[in-house]
Structures are given as C-alpha cells and as structure tokens.
Amino acid sequence: MDIFLQQIINGLVVGSIYALIALGYTMVYGIMQLINFAHGEIVMIGAMVTITCINLLIGAGVNLPGPLLLLAGLLMAIPISMLLGFTIERVAYRPLRRAPRLAPLITAIGVSIVLQQVAMLIWGRNYRPFPQILPTTVHDFFGAAVTDLQIAIVILSLVLMAGLFWLIEKTRLGRAMRATAQNPEVAGLMGVNINTVISMTFIIGSSLGAVAGVMVAANYDQAHAYMGFMIGLKAFTAAVLGGIGNIGGAVVGGLLLGIIESLGSGYLGDLTGGFLGSHYKDIFAFVVLIGVLVFRPSGLLGERVAERA
Amino acid sequence: MSAPLLKIDGIHKRFGGLHALNDVALSINAGEIYGLIGPNGAGKTTLFNVLTGLYQPDEGSFSFNGKDLFRQKPYVVVESGIARTFQNIRLFANMTALENVMVGQHVRTAAGVFGAVFRGPKAKAEEAAIAARAQELLDYVGIGKRHDELARNLSYGDQRRLEIARALATRPTLLALDEPAAGMNPKETDQLKALMEKIRADGVTILLIEHDVKLMMGLCDRIAVLDYGKKIAEGIPEKVKNDPRVIEAYLGVAPE
C-alpha cells in the first residue's frame, strides 16, 4: 500500500510539472494551431539560467537561505524565458503566419535545435548539478515519503494553474485570447489586437515553462542542454492526452501522464519478472501518445476539432 | 441636403476572371435604412465585404464620415464607425452571450495589456463598465436574460440578435446587416424589423442585404439593385419595384 501511495505522490509531482509545460503547448496550439516544439528548450533554459544564477550568488558570497536563492534564480529565469518566447514568435513564427501549416512546424523544430546548440555553447555538454541549497527533510505521509520540495512543486503548480484559469476566464486579455482562438478574423474586426494576443500567449506560456524547468532541475538534482527534448515531448503527450488546445485538458493530461508513468515504472519490474526495469519508464508516455492518437485523437477533453469546422 | 455619410464611386473588384463588382457607385445618407438586393451571385456580399474592409477593391473611391477608407484594414473601418454582421453567423461560439458583446467593445476601450492583468482600480472600473454596457446591449436586442448562455446554445434567431448586439458594441455610425432575416420565421422577422427600426431611431444608419423582398419594401428608405456586379437601379422601394430592368434581372425578359 505504501509503495502504491508513494508512486501516486511521485506521479502527482512529476505530473504537475508536465501540466505546467503542457499548458504552454496547448495555449499556443489553441490560438494559432502551431505545435511550438521550441517550448521544451524554453523549459531547459529556465532551468539553466536559474542554476547559473544561484551558483553566481553563492560564488559572490551571498548568504541567503536556500529557498530565497532559488527565488532569486527564478526571478532571473522568468523574464529571460518571457523575452525568449516573445522573440521566437516574432522572428520565427510571425513571418510564417499565413504560410502552410507545415512551414512553421519545421521552423519550430529548427528553433528547438538552435536553442539546444546555443545552450551547449554557453553551458557545455555535461550535466549541471542543481546546487544543494534546499532542505531535504522527509515527511511521513501514511507510510510514503514526501519532501518539502515535492510539496512546494505541487502547491506552486496548482497556484499557477489557478492563476492562469483566472486570467483566461475573467480578464480582458483572457477574453481576447479566447475570442482569437475561436475566430481570429472576427476578433480582429472587434478591435482585438491579434499580434498582442499572440505575443502574450507566448510570454505567459514561456514563463510557466521556465518555472517548470526549475522544478525539473530541482526534482532530479540536475539539468543539461538536451533535457528540453524529452520533457517537451512528454508534456506535448500530456497536452494531446487531455485534448490539445484545451486548457483544462493540459492539466488533466499532465497529472494523468505523471501518475501513469510513475505507477508503470514502479510495477514494471514485478510485472515482467525483472525483465524490464524502471529505467523503461519513458515508454509509458509514448505508449499513451500512440494509444490516444489511435483511439481518441481529440484527447480526453478535446472537442475543439469538431467545433472549429 | 448635407453630404452623404458613406460614398463609394467607380468600385471594381475582380477575382481572377470574374468581374464581381463593375463600376459600382452609391451613397448612403445619415439616418436612412438603405437596402441592397439582387439575384444570387449578383455581388451583394462582395460589395458588403468591400464596404466593411474585408475585401480590398481594385479601383474606385470610398469615403465615410469625411474619412478616406479606400483599401483600409478592417479594424480601421470598424474604428471609423462601420460595424457588420455576417450572413453565416460568426459568433465566438464557446463564449457566453455577455462575453461576445464585451469583446465587441475592445475597439472602443483603452486598457492596455498590463492594465488588464495587474488590475488597478481604473482598469477594474472600466471592466465593470464594459460588462454593464454589454448587458445593456443584450437587453436592447431582447436577449438580456440569456447573458450567461454560451453563444452556440442560443437559438438561431437569438444568435442573430447577439451578432447585432456585438456589432452595436463597437459604437457604429453605420450598421451593416448581411441577410439578418435568413432562416427566420415570420414572427421573428417582424421582431427583427422592429429592432432595426428602433436602432435607426436611436441614430444609427443601417445598410441591409436581404432576400425577403416584402421586408425590404416595408423597411427601406432607398434600395439599390445589383445584377452581375453592376448597379442596375436605385431609389425608393416603389420605383425600384416597377423598374423594368429589375423585373428582368429577377424574372427574365417577357417573351415578345
């Protein structure tokens, strides 16, 4: 029982990170039907900038408690990611707005490769350890072990998601975003500035991605220039699982994928008599992706495709 | 007589080999209900799209309220005071009726992006005013009680009304309606007619495309008839109805 609970908790932690990243994919897709494959790299750069910033502060002899150092790193990483997301859209996607859909998709893959290479030039090709600044207290939760970090990740994710829902449902910008997603031409006629809406979508998605990147690095104690690829692909899977373009779907898909992956890797060894171990956990995401694409291409909460027609 | 509110002259629009609008000229006076009729494919909707900035004409001139709108972007046209509805309803289907009308006010409200996110008291007050005005407009077109309903769940007639409310939210001087009575039953058509008369009485000029000739004759001050991209008649309904060229366009030539 405690192993089961432990896997569920681990799954929720990883799942809420997936969900944060999946929101970035799904928001961009909802508004411009583009899969922004460079989003994983934003996540990576968010993690890298934070690590560098913390190390610099420690190197400069700043003596702050760990969580404050982390916060300082985040405050550095978020604006950089926002700027990066904004620039990518301006430089790589906007000129292709009226091009066939394949063109921006290939551009997105190109941007993703460029960012990986640039990151390697800056940070090298080795794993970067996450500085040991956070308390490692372990709490006992009905027989399962939970760290402060895990609690913080889940709570922060939930707060950010709630904030995003509020933004989209209750503010003028959110209303403009929804109108643009449903009918850009008419939204433009009503005075909605489509370019601003798209820029803001990238900026918001990128800032969530940066926070998620820091969570990944802190949770696994490391980061490296290629990390964006796998985490991006999994978050994309989560977005597709929930129904791409659907905000609630990204959250559900992320959490669900995290739990599936965690339970799957936890029991895979037992199920296969030790033939396959937990290091095969990555296959679950892609089995799920294939399953969704075959049996329910619109995702769990997806209905947008039919509506759009 | 003062200068017309809207004036176009020598408008041409071609799609490849199709000469959709051929030297069309017309003027609409402030305060009138101006009708546009013609057989299917005559170029009514094309002209409509030119007048609302969705199509850029190839040649001609287009002025509105003293402003040159020739080949202007759609939102400039809206800003100048021309709002429209669509023949095939184009609402934001997954937003509530109220939200649809609130979006319509974007063109007239100032709050920037950051004001919208980090809401100061000013932005909050503006937001409240936008919501109140949207509710007023829903009441005005007669669907005030349905403000929380998603647009796609409204009945067909109510969707048409919602489109009118959303267009009115942009505070137009000229409201252009593309077949607003299409698919309506006689009772709904009567209510629509009353609504249009109310809008005109409140000082908004109306340009109307409609197939329902009876409705047009009873409602419009002046009517223009298009056929094969050309204006073949213009004037008061009585005159247009008896114009031989109009009869010919609709019914063909009587055998000698």
Among A171, A172, A301, most B C-beta atoms within 10 A, so best to mutate, is A172
Q: What is the largest CA-CA distance in chain B?
A: 76
Q: What is the pLDDT of residue B109?
A: 74
State yes or no: pLDDT of A303 exceeds 70: no
DSSP, collapsed to helix, strand or coil, labels residue B184 as coil
CB contacts, 8 Å: A201 with chain B: none
Cβ-defined contact of B130 to A172 (cutoff 8 Å): yes
Q: What is the mean pLDDT of residues A152-167?
A: 95
CA distances, B72 to each of A38, A186, B61, B68, B138 (Å): 36, 16, 11, 8, 30
State yes or no: pLDDT of B112 exceeds 90: no
Residue with tokens 């000739």: B213
3-state secondary structure A138-202: EEEECCEEEEHHHHHHHHHHHHHHHHHHHHHHHCHHHHHHHHHHHCHHHHHHCCCCHHHHHHHHH
Give A136→chain B minimum CA distance, Å. Answer: 35
Q: At what angle do helices A194-220 and A227-242 cross, to 10 degrees?
A: 120
- A:B CB pairs within 8 Å: 72
Q: What is the pLDDT of residue A307?
A: 40
Give B100→chain A minimum CA distance, Å. Answer: 8
Pairing status of strand B174-178 against strand B82-84: parallel
> CA A298 to CA A245: how far, in whole Å?
10
Cβ-defined contact of B92 to A186 (cutoff 8 Å): yes
Angle at B143 between CA A165 and CA A183, to 5 degrees: 45
Cβ-defined contact of B104 to A190 (cutoff 8 Å): yes
Residue with tokens 């046209």: B77
State yes or no: pLDDT of A271 exceeds 90: no
State yes or no: pLDDT of B155 exceeds 60: yes
CB contacts, 8 Å: B105 with chain A: 191
State yes or no: pLDDT of A153 exceeds 70: yes
State yes or no: pLDDT of B113 exceeds 60: no
Cβ-defined contact of A188 to B106 (cutoff 8 Å): no
List all residues 6 or more positions away from A21 whose beta carbon is below 8 Å from its beta carbon. A39, A40, A43, A208, A209, A212, A231, A232, A235, A238, A254
List all residues 6 or more positions away from B118 whose beta carbon is below 8 Å from its beta carbon. none
What percent of chain B has a predicted confidence (pLDDT) above 70?
A: 94
Pairing status of strand B222-227 against strand B205-209: unpaired
CB contacts, 8 Å: B107 with chain A: 190-191
Q: What is the pLDDT of residue B42?
A: 87
Q: What is the pLDDT of residue B107?
A: 77
According to DSSP, residue B181 is labeled T
State yes or no: pLDDT of A309 exceeds 50: no
β-sheet bridge partners, residue B177: B208
Exposed / middle / buried, residue A132 (Cβ in 10 Å: 0-12, 13-18, 19+):
exposed
Q: What is the pLDDT of residue B29?
A: 93
Cβ-defined contact of B90 to A179 (cutoff 8 Å): no
Give A257→chain B minimum CA distance, Å. Answer: 27
Q: What is the mean pLDDT of residues A93-99?
A: 92
β-sheet bridge partners, residue B206: B33, B175
Mean pLDDT estimate for chain A: 91
Q: What is the pLDDT of residue A278?
A: 72
CB contacts, 8 Å: B127 with chain A: 171-172
> CA A4 to CA A11: how far, in whole Å?
10
Residue A229 structure tokens: 């690829």
Whether A256 and A68 have beta carbons less than 8 Å apart is answered as no
Using CB atoms, which residue from A176, A178, A182 is nearest to B106? A176
Q: What is the pLDDT of residue B32?
A: 93
Whether B109 and B123 have beta carbons less than 8 Å apart is answered as no
Choose among A43, A1, A31, A2: nearest CA to A214.
A43
Cβ-defined contact of B113 to A190 (cutoff 8 Å): no
Residue of B nearest to A196 (CA): B113
Q: Which residues of B touch A (CB under 8 A)?
A: 52, 74-75, 78-79, 84, 86, 90, 92-95, 99, 102-109, 111, 113, 116-117, 119, 123, 127, 130, 152, 166, 169-170
Give the pLDDT band of residue A179 (cuts 50, 70, 90).
very high
Of the listed ranges A13-17, A21-25, A266-270, B237-241, the one predicted with least confidence: A266-270
Out of A210-214, A285-289, B17-21, B71-75, the most confident range is A210-214
Q: What is the pLDDT of residue A47?
A: 96
> CA A91 to CA A38: how far, in whole Å?
13
> Would you list the domain boundaries of chain B?
1-81+173-192+206-256, 91-171
Helix (H) or strand (E) holding B209: strand B205-209
CATH node for B1-81+173-192+206-256: 3.40.50.300
> CA A164 to CA A178: how far, in whole Å?
13
Residue A54 structure tokens: 């913390």
Q: What is the mean pLDDT of residues B163-183?
A: 92
Choose among A92, A91, A39: nearest CA to A212.
A39
ipTM beyond cut 0.85 = no
Cβ-defined contact of A191 to B106 (cutoff 8 Å): yes
Whether A155 and A215 have beta carbons less than 8 Å apart is answered as no
CB contacts, 8 Å: B117 with chain A: 167, 171, 173
CB contacts, 8 Å: B159 with chain A: none
CB contacts, 8 Å: B78 with chain A: 189-191
Domains and CATH numbers, chain A: 2-308 (1.10.3470)
Cβ-defined contact of A189 to B78 (cutoff 8 Å): yes
Whether A286 and A237 have beta carbons less than 8 Å apart is answered as yes
Choose among A130, A129, A132, A133: nearest CA to A65.
A133
CA distances, B123 to each of A179, B111, B214 (Å): 20, 6, 47
Q: What is the pLDDT of residue A306?
A: 40
CB contacts, 8 Å: B123 with chain A: 172
Q: φ, ψ for residue A105 (rounded to 5)? A: -65, -45
> CA A206 to CA A253: how far, in whole Å?
19
Q: What is the pLDDT of residue B1?
A: 52
Q: What is the pLDDT of residue B110?
A: 63
CA atoms within 13 A on the CB side of B106: 30
Q: What is the pLDDT of residue A128?
A: 92
Cβ-defined contact of B75 to A186 (cutoff 8 Å): no
- What pLDDT digit, counting tens, does each position of B49-107 carry? 998 888 899 999 999 998 898 988 888 888 899 999 998 889 999 999 999 999 988 87
Q: What is the mean pLDDT of residues A65-71?
A: 91
State yes or no: pLDDT of A107 exceeds 90: yes
Q: What is the pLDDT of residue A283?
A: 86
Residue of B nearest to A308 (CA): B93
CB contacts, 8 Å: B106 with chain A: 172, 176, 190-192
Helix (H) or strand (E) holding A91: none
State yes or no: pLDDT of A44 exceeds 50: yes
Q: What is the dihedral of CA B149, B155, B158, B162, to 10 degrees?
A: 50
Number of C-beta neighbours around residue B112 at 10 A: 11
Give the pLDDT band of residue A308 (cuts 50, 70, 90).
very low
CB contacts, 8 Å: A169 with chain B: none
- What pLDDT digit, counting tens, does each position of B193-236 carry? 999 999 999 999 999 998 877 888 889 999 999 998 899 989 99
Q: What is the mean pLDDT of residues A38-46?
A: 97
Cβ-defined contact of B116 to A173 (cutoff 8 Å): yes
> CA A194 to CA A185: how far, in whole Å?
9
Instruction: Please give the full DSSP string across B10-43, using - where no structure is assigned.
Output: EEEEEETTEEEEEEEEEEE-TT-EEEEE-STTSS
Give the pLDDT band of residue A108 (cuts 50, 70, 90).
very high
Among A189, A194, A203, A301, most B C-beta atoms within 10 A, so best to mutate, is A189
